[in-house]
Structure 1
Amino acid sequence: MKSFEEVELCFPELLNSSCRKAVRPHSVSMLTYILLCSISLLTVTLNLLVIISISHFKQLHTSTNILLLSLAVSDFFVGFLMFFPIVLIEGCWLLGDLMCSLYSVLTFTITSTSVGTMVLISVDRYVAICDPLHYPNKVTQKRVKICVCLCWICSAFLQSLLLKDNLEQPGRYSSCFGECVVVIDYFAGRANLFLTFFGPVTVIIVLYMRVFVVAVSHARAMRSHTAAFSLKSSVSVTANKSELKAARTLGVVVVVFLVCLCPYYCISLTGQDTLLNTSTIAFIICLFYFNSCLNPVIYAFFYPWFRKSIRLIVTLKILQPGSCDTNML
């Protein structure tokens, strides 16, 4: 057993008031640093490409893409905030109690906003597939922008209210210097889980089940038609195919989102984290963060406009006059 002098402290000058560092092999620490930094950098870079693409090119300023922009912004901040947990690899929070509380509020807000944006995406696809004739009138860019703003504002307000005690007295629940601890009232925490995750997820699943049923019926109807279409019908069929493709792509995004986040929230709800080993918990948290890196990869596979915009951004052609009017579709 190590003597007191041999124990590594987060703040050696504070002696008994300092937390102890987590002792692990140097190779393991370096590998963890490299892995987390790589995921964080990749997440920030890929989502920044999505943000630039949708913001710059006018042809991409559609209602659906505004929702993707909101999701990309939240994923960008997830990647940026991942740099903060990296400093906790050795078990020490070196940024102070106030930053700990602010970091917690930001993390909760961004996660809540991502879930809210997924609900909006599901509603968008539901209206587009199930009520296509009224979609242009019901889902306008102005309405979508208002919904996105309300999503961010409500998430920030709700999470600030939830962590009010931690913000008013930062570090009140820390047992030593170098610890980042936030405590949430049990009933408030459970209510927050249902309001910001399980409730929205139920809505997402119900809407996409309906979208799936209607999409299948549309696909069968299109296959059963003969080639003797009028021009108007042909345009309608093309539009339906486009909406079905968008629904499929965003469906993949939603499924990946649920797969990555459900384990984390299920453990939070059941409180079984004490029964899991450190490696399992680390994997679940990494899976939670890695979802933000996967969304742009999905766009690259399914959206030709995203691949084209990446080429234009990397080659700096977006700096040319009139590049915002480039045909992307």
Structure 2
Amino acid sequence: MEDQDRAELCFPQLFNSSCRKPEISQSDVVLMDLLFFICVFTVTLNLLVIISVSHFRQLHTPTNLLILSLAVSDFLTGLDSMLEAHKQTACWFLGDIMCSLHVYVSSIFLSVSTGDMVLISVDRYVAICDPLHYSTRVTVTRVKICICISWICSVVYYSIILKNELTQPGMNNFCYGQCVVIIHYISGIVDSVLSVIAPVTVIIILYMRVFVTAVSQARAMRSHVAAVTLQHSGTVMNKKSELKAARTLGVVVLVFLMCFCPYYCISYVQISSNSALPIASGLFLSYINPCLNPVIYALFYPWFRKAIRLIFSLQILQPGSRETNML
């Protein structure tokens, strides 16, 4: 009987202080296996986005730099989510320090992704609602500064929120083989407002404004298309390009909200269950989002499809490939 009990422990040699292995159903196993493959695709696809935007000089635009930052955070999320899949369905064998670091870095990556979505919304808002000043207000240098600020603020913010866990790793674990991080009630409320409610509200408000303006501009363009002269054709084409970019990035933002809202709802309700399925389902949606973003780019951006062809054909290794015309 004692041997059977030991077999069910994460650390059999620590009979009195070891956690029991979690009870995993067949549906949990299937879901986590699927999550693992999604993580692999996430890492691969976002790596293609990173190489594309970083390598080709013509793609170094303010909007694409935001896409690059989002791809970097999604790429790192894909790597980190492999640990999360393990954490949900098995004993934690990596120790208390790695547990705290895992939660810390995953929080940073999610925060940066949310920050990038806010910046993308601001970028599209200025491009559509104030196009005459877009080139002067949104520059490559300013976007780089905003991206750096977003990453730095995320690192500093979660260093404060998770200070106790980082200085005393494992303080909330009841047994060996467990990875539990508990945020203080007040800190949790502040974190909910600053990292979820506030940015999501800003994103929705900005894109509602973008949508209304884009619809009115599209109607105006259609009604005056017959009167467009050659002199103004360049302006019209530029406006069409901005509207298309707003539509594409609007899909990215919408998918982001659809994927992360269920996860936060599940987390806030704190579903009590012996099965890992409820939380796993929320994780599945939240971690599928970084995989979907490159798919959206491939569907809507010809330059991304062209970049993929150049990457797989190894043409990017040729001298002068950085100057290739991608648009």
Asked whether the two chains share a fold, i.e. TM above 0.5, the reply is yes
C-alpha distance 229-276 of structure 1, shift in aligned 2 (>3 A): farther
* 2:100 corresponding residue in structure 1: 101
C-alpha distance 31-185 of structure 1, shift in aligned 2 (>3 A): same
**AA paired with 1:18?**
S
Task: Tell me the secondary structure at the aligned position of residue 199 of structure 1.
Answer: helix
* 2:255 corresponding residue in structure 1: 256
**AA paired with 1:20?**
R
**AA paired with 2:93?**
L
What is the CA-CA distance between 1:227 and the residue it aligns to?
A: 2.6
C-alpha distance 240-298 of structure 1, shift in aligned 2 (>3 A): same
**AA paired with 2:291?**
C
**AA paired with 1:146?**
I
C-alpha distance 192-250 of structure 1, shift in aligned 2 (>3 A): same
Any idea what the Cα deviations from partners look like across 1:110-140, whole Å, max 9, x if unmatched? Answer: 1111111100000000000011011000000
What is the CA-CA distance between 1:29 and the residue it aligns to?
A: 6.8
Aligned with 1:292 (options 273, 290, 302): 290
* 2:11 corresponding residue in structure 1: 11
* 2:277 corresponding residue in structure 1: 279
What is the CA-CA distance between 1:263 and the residue it aligns to?
A: 1.3
CA contact (8 A) 2:66 2:120 kept: yes
Matched, 1:155 2:154: yes
Provide the C-alpha distance between the structure 2 equivalents of 1:274 and 1:66, rounded to a whole number of angstroms: 41
**AA paired with 1:83?**
M
What is the CA-CA distance between 1:276 and the residue it aligns to?
A: 9.8
Answer 1 or 2: higher relative contact order, Cα 8 Å, separation at least 6.
Answer: 2
Superposed CA RMSD in Å reads 1.7
Any idea what the Cα deviations from partners look like across 1:232-261, whole Å, max 9, x if unmatched? Answer: 321111111000000000000000000000
* 1:58 corresponding residue in structure 2: 57
CA contact (8 A) 1:87 1:94 kept: no
CA contact (8 A) 1:29 1:89 kept: no
Provide the C-alpha distance between the structure 1 equivalents of 2:120 and 2:179, rounded to a whole number of angstroms: 34
Provide the C-alpha distance between the structure 1 equivalents of 2:239 and 2:225, rounded to a whole number of angstroms: 16
Segments ≥4 residues shifted beyond 6 Å: none
Matched, 1:231 2:227: no
**AA paired with 1:300?**
A
Matched, 1:327 2:321: no
CA contact (8 A) 1:112 1:196 kept: yes
Bigger shift: residues 28-37 or 319-328: 28-37
Bigger shift: residues 38-47 or 222-231: 222-231
Bigger shift: residues 231-240 or 166-175: 231-240
What is the CA-CA distance between 1:6 and the residue it aligns to?
A: 1.2
1:163-312 alignment, distance < 5 Å: 163-269=162-268, 271-274=269-272, 278-312=276-310
Any idea what the Cα deviations from partners look like across 1:169-216, whole Å, max 9, x if unmatched? Answer: 111110011100111111111111110111011011110011011101
* 2:143 corresponding residue in structure 1: 144
What is the CA-CA distance between 1:327 and the residue it aligns to?
A: 0.7
CA contact (8 A) 2:162 2:183 kept: yes
What is the CA-CA distance between 1:223 and the residue it aligns to?
A: 0.8
Tell me, which stretches of 5 or more residues in structure 1 are unaligned?
none
C-alpha distance 111-226 of structure 1, shift in aligned 2 (>3 A): closer
C-alpha distance 208-276 of structure 1, shift in aligned 2 (>3 A): farther
What is the CA-CA distance between 1:24 and the residue it aligns to?
A: 3.7
CA contact (8 A) 1:78 1:110 kept: yes
Tell me, which stretches of 5 or more residues in structure 2 are unaligned?
none
C-alpha distance 303-173 of structure 1, shift in aligned 2 (>3 A): same
Provide the C-alpha distance between the structure 2 equivalents of 1:282 and 1:181, rounded to a whole number of angstroms: 16
What is the CA-CA distance between 1:28 and the residue it aligns to?
A: 5.7
Provide the C-alpha distance between the structure 1 equivalents of 2:129 and 2:89, rounded to a whole number of angstroms: 52
Provide the C-alpha distance between the structure 2 equivalents of 1:81 and 1:272, rounded to a whole number of angstroms: 22
Provide the C-alpha distance between the structure 1 equivalents of 2:297 and 2:262, rounded to a whole number of angstroms: 24
Provide the C-alpha distance between the structure 2 equivalents of 1:20 and 1:219, rounded to a whole number of angstroms: 61
Percent identity for Structure 1 against Structure 2: 59
CA contact (8 A) 2:28 2:280 kept: no
CA contact (8 A) 1:109 1:155 kept: yes
**AA paired with 1:295?**
N
Q: TM-score, normalised by structure 2?
A: 0.95
Task: Tell me the secondary structure at the aligned position of residue 272 of structure 2.
Answer: helix
CA contact (8 A) 2:32 2:280 kept: no
C-alpha distance 202-152 of structure 1, shift in aligned 2 (>3 A): same
**AA paired with 2:60?**
H
Provide the C-alpha distance between the structure 1 equivalents of 2:118 and 2:246, rounded to a whole number of angstroms: 13
Provide the C-alpha distance between the structure 1 equivalents of 2:212 and 2:89, rounded to a whole number of angstroms: 50
Task: Tell me the secondary structure at the aligned position of residue 170 of structure 2.
Answer: coil
Provide the C-alpha distance between the structure 1 equivalents of 2:309 and 2:225, rounded to a whole number of angstroms: 39
